[in-house]
Amino acid sequence: MVNFSVETAIVISFILGLALPVIHLGGVFSIFIMGFAATYLTKTEKTSAIVGGIAAIVFGVFFFFIGFLTGPTLPYTLPSPLALGILVPLTGLFYLLMGLIVSIIIYGVIGMLGGYVALKFFKEKKRRKQNLNQEGLKEL
């Protein structure tokens, strides 16, 4: 594993997550790769799958707020606010918050899955080497 701090690993994986759709590797695959990269880049003592989940959650919240900058497609004639009533904005706010919560959960799970795969690929090899070194010292 590479020896970056957790914050630096998250920033590097965030930049990677922004760059992957440019080369047409976006979607779930890019979130998985972000979690993998964030976990791989952290120090061995602080490595866990949660680091990948945090990196993916930061990415998901970023895209959630970027969604506010893009306007929706509107019909040519909008209905009267008096005809709609007060419940329409409240249900819209409810759906907005539920969308944020669900997206955080989905991004976090996919990022943690990528982090878990990184742990399985790279952490086990170090443990085996340490065990072999300890067994070799016992024989001497």
Note the pLDDT tens digit of each residue in 33-92.
999 999 999 988 888 899 999 999 999 999 999 988 887 787 778 777 777 777 877 888
Asked if 47 contacts 1 with a C-beta cutoff of 8 angstroms, the reply is yes
In percent, the amount of the chain with pLDDT more than 90 equals 53
Q: With a cut of 70, say whether residue 126 has pLDDT above it.
A: no
pLDDT digits (tens, 9 = 90+) for 78-92: 777 777 777 877 888
Asked if 12 contacts 37 with a C-beta cutoff of 8 angstroms, the reply is yes
Residues 6+ away with beta carbon under 8 Å from 84: none
Predicted confidence at residue 53, as pLDDT, reads 95
Predicted confidence at residue 139, as pLDDT, reads 54
Mean pLDDT value of segment 108-115 = 96
| Residue located via tokens 């306007």 | 71
Between CA 42 and CA 110, with CA 46 as vertex, the angle to 5 degrees is 65
Predicted confidence at residue 78, as pLDDT, reads 74
Cβ neighbours around 122 below 10 Å, total: 16
Mean pLDDT value of segment 87-111 = 91
Predicted confidence at residue 26, as pLDDT, reads 84
Phi, psi (degrees; rounded to nearest 5) at 42: -80, 160
What SS3 class is residue 88?
A: helix
